């Protein structure tokens, strides 16, 4: 059986309990034998056997049970430690990979324009003037009867260089049938067809799904048979230049189509530099910044500038750092619960891992990282520079070894020295990266946690095997004692009957037997 660490007081208590269990189990057996040998006609074989067997195995049974309880308590303690380590591992991911730091916010001081920024942005104030927003082309056909069969043929519809071909047959050659065929095509290039019914009839309306000058709609119809308006649905659109609206030419007549919205790019300037975008979500004009444009951003008069301010996002960094401290302190509290030898520890698991070298290794490794610094040029920056210090003595709210944050000092460091903070938590040699590397080792396959759990589980299997062997031995001993004491009981009963018979014949201390009475007669 593998050796599992436990406290000496527990071992002493277990030994005392085993001795008491054996003594208690022997007493009923002694009483049964005394009773059977002092005039009773028979022994209580069942109780006697049970008592003797219990006396024989009570000590070993209690020892195995105590070891099993100790092992299960250790597994529970290791599980609690594992949970705290895993929570810290997950909680500092954004610090260890650098995503929590170096973030920026972007705000606009006008209307109709919003902005977001990522970690590649640069802090600064930018003047943005919008003169035109991007729009998608919408074309509306001439009116037709809602159920009019327009003829058969092949219709090709393209948007921005992508196209689809639709067979127009007698089953779909109405306005609504054509609209449905366009929308349901698996090769639809990005156009939505609807039917708008007015006082003059039903109109086929085509809308590009994408904004931008190049996303114009073109329709051609070929192989027309039984033409009753199908050929008039052909239209050719031309993108505008220099920000101008798109134009179109109908295949049959000028009145066959109307353009209710043109395809055009957004136009704006950033600090006086002209730029365009096919989308109103502008991602390429200002590195790391997305500008979201609406018509209200054009302003009055058109092109009225507004300021977009990009600034360091200290809130996300502060939240991540505070979360790191909280999770680390939870781990320190767990150390005390599973490894504190004080019998008054808050957890019933107190002290169970105190002699397990795994706990000391984890504590010392992480504490060394927390207390170290990270090179920042020719100097070293540590958690102390952020107002984060170790609590040397336990307080009413925190155990010794916990981290304490000075929020004012942290806010000042994030504001005045963002590069230093980012270096302290860089993704290769930073504090969180080092902790994550250690945690991955502790929690991974073949790590300290897994090895400790494996050792305890191996011991539990051994105990289970010994308990099974003990159960087999108990059954065999019970059978043996049952046979022996049943025979003894039979012998005692025979002897008792013989004694009574002889007393009847020859008499006893207080009576005359039958033979004695006969002789006197």
What's the rounded Cα separation, in Å, for the pair 180 and 222?
19
pLDDT at 27: 58
**Residues 158, 170 within the same domain:** yes
State the average pLDDT over residues 125-134: 97
Q: Please indicate, yes or no, if residue 259 is contained in any of the structural domains.
A: yes
Q: Are residues 165 and 178 in the same domain?
A: yes
pLDDT-derived band at 16 (thresholds 50, 70, 90) equals low
pLDDT value for 505: 61
User: Does 86 share its domain with 193?
Assistant: no
pLDDT score recorded for residue 342:
45
pLDDT of the residue at 419: 84
- Same domain assignment for residues 345 and 432: yes
Segment 315-326 shows an average pLDDT of 94
CA distance to 86, 93, 334, per residue, from 90 (Å): 6, 6, 17
One domain, residues 126 and 271? yes
The pLDDT value recorded for residue 8 is: 43
Residue 348 confidence (pLDDT): 46
Q: Are residues 308 and 238 in the same domain?
A: no
Domain's final residue, options 312, 343, 371:
312
172 and 185 co-located in one domain:
yes
Give the pLDDT of residue 91.
Answer: 95
pLDDT tens digit string along 36-85? 444 455 668 788 888 888 888 889 999 999 999 999 999 999 999 999 99
Pick from 277, 312, 347: which residue ends a domain? 312
pLDDT score at 51: 87
Q: Which region among 49-53, 312-316, 507-511 has the lowest average model confidence (pLDDT)?
A: 507-511
In a domain, 451, yes or no: no
**Range name among 131-140, 397-406, 434-443, 503-512 with the lowest pLDDT average:** 503-512
In this prediction, residues 345-368 reach a mean pLDDT of 80
Q: In the prediction, which pLDDT does 44 show?
A: 81
| pTM > 0.85: yes or no | no
| Whether 389 and 347 share a structural domain | yes
Joined together, the tokens standing for residue 348 give 């019933």
Phi-psi region of 66 (alpha: psi -120 to 50; beta: other; left: phi over 0): alpha
| Weakest-pLDDT range from 267-276, 298-307, 338-347, 484-493 | 338-347
- Mean pLDDT for the chain? 87
Same domain for 129 and 218, yes or no, is no
What is each CA distance from 399 to 83, 188, 221, 347, 494, in whole angstroms?
A: 19, 65, 81, 14, 75
The pLDDT value given to residue 511 = 63
In a domain, 21, yes or no: no
Least confident among 102-106, 231-235, 393-397: 393-397
Q: Is residue 462 part of a domain?
A: no
Q: How confident is the model at residue 7 (pLDDT cuts 50, 70, 90)?
A: very low
Based on the fold, state whether residues 145 and 254 are members of the same structural domain: yes
In a domain, 253, yes or no: yes
Which residues span the domain enclosing 204? 138-264
Q: Tell me whether residue 499 is exposed, middle or buried, using C-beta atoms within 10 angstroms of its C-beta: 0 to 12, 13 to 18, 19 or more.
A: exposed
Within a domain: 329: yes
CA distances from 100 to 318, 319, 322 (A): 9, 9, 12
Q: Are residues 123 and 148 in the same domain?
A: no
pLDDT at residue number 379:
86
DSSP of 226-251, one letter per residue?
A: S-SSGGGG-EEEE--STTPPPEEEES
pLDDT above 70 (res 268):
yes
Tokens of 88: 């810290």
Cis peptide bond upstream of 301, omega within 30: yes
Q: How many domains does the chain have?
A: 3
193 or 48, greater pLDDT:
193
Give residue-wise pLDDT tens across range 240-261. Answer: 988 888 999 998 888 899 999 9
Task: Give 503's pLDDT tier (boundaries 50, 70, 90).
Answer: low
Same domain, 180 and 194: yes
pLDDT exceeds cutoff 70 at 351: yes
Q: Is 184 exposed, middle or buried, given 0-12, 13-18 or 19+ CB atoms closer than 10 A?
A: exposed
134 phi and psi angles, rounded to 5 deg: -70, 145
65 is a domain residue: no
pLDDT > 60? residue 29: no
pLDDT higher than threshold 90 for residue 239: yes
pLDDT, residue 278, reads: 94
Residue 471 lies in a domain: no
Q: Would the pLDDT of 154 be above 80?
A: yes
Instruction: Round to whole Å and give the CA distance between 215 and 284.
Output: 19
206-235 confidence digits (pLDDT tens):
999 999 999 999 999 999 999 999 999 999
Q: Which residue has the higher pLDDT, 96 or 345?
A: 96
Domain end: 394, 427, 444, which one? 444
Q: Kindly indicate the confidence band of residue 346, based on its pLDDT and cuts at 50, 70 and 90.
A: very low
């Amino acid at each position: 059986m593998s050796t599992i660490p436990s406290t000496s007081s527990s071992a002493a208590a277990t030994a005392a309990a085993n001795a008491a269990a054996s003594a208690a189990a022997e007493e009923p057996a002694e009483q049964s034998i005394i009773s059977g040998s002092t005039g009773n006609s028979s022994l209580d074989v069942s109780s006697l056997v049970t008592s003797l067997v219990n006396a024989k195995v009570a000590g070993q049974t209690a020892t195995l049970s105590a070891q099993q309880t100790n092992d299960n308590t250790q597994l529970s303690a290791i599980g609690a430690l594992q949970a705290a380590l895993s929570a810290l591992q997950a909680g500092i991911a954004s610090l260890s990979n650098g995503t929590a730091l170096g973030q920026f916010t972007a705000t606009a001081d006008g209307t109709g324009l919003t902005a977001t920024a990522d970690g590649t942005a640069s802090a600064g104030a930018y003047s943005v003037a919008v003169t035109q927003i991007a729009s998608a082309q919408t074309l509306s056909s001439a009116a037709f009867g809602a159920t009019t069969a327009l003829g058969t043929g092949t219709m090709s519809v393209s948007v921005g260089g992508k196209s689809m071909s639709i067979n127009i047959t007698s089953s779909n050659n109405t306005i609504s049938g054509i609209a449905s065929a366009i929308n349901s095509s698996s090769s639809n290039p990005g156009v939505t067809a609807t039917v708008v019914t007015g006082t003059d009839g039903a109109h086929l309306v085509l809308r590009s799904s994408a904004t931008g000058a190049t996303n114009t709609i073109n329709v051609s119809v070929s192989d027309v048979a039984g033409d009753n308006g199908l050929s008039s649905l052909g239209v050719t659109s031309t993108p505008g230049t220099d920000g101008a609206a798109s134009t179109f030419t109908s295949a049959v007549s000028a009145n066959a189509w109307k353009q209710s919205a043109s395809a055009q790019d957004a136009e704006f300037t950033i600090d006086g530099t002209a730029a365009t975008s096919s989308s109103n979500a502008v991602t390429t004009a200002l590195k790391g910044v997305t500008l979201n444009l609406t018509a209200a951003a054009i302003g009055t008069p058109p092109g009225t500038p507004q300021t977009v301010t990009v600034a360091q996002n200290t809130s996300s960094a502060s939240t991540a750092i505070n979360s790191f401290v909280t999770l680390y302190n939870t781990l320190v509290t767990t150390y005390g619960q599973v490894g504190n030898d004080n019998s008054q520890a808050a957890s019933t698991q107190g002290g169970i891992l105190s002699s397990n070298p795994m706990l000391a290794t984890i504590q010392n490794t992480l504490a060394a990282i927390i207390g170290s610094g990270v090179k920042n040029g020719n100097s070293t920056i540590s958690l102390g520079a952020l107002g984060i210090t170790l609590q040397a003595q336990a307080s009413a709210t925190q155990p010794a070894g916990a981290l304490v944050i000075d929020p004012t000092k942290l806010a000042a460091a994030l504001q005045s020295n963002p590069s230093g903070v980012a270096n302290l938590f860089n993704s290769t040699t930073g504090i969180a990266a080092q902790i994550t590397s250690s945690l991955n080792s502790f929690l991974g396959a073949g790590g300290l946690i897994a090895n400790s759990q494996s050792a305890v589980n191996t011991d539990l299997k051994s105990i289970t095997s010994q308990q099974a062997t003990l159960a087999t031995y108990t059954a065999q001993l019970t059978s043996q004692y049952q046979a022996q004491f049943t025979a003894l009981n039979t012998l005692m009963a025979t002897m008792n009957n013989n004694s009574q018979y002889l007393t009847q014949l020859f008499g006893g201390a207080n009576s005359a037997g039958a033979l004695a009475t006969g002789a006197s007669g």
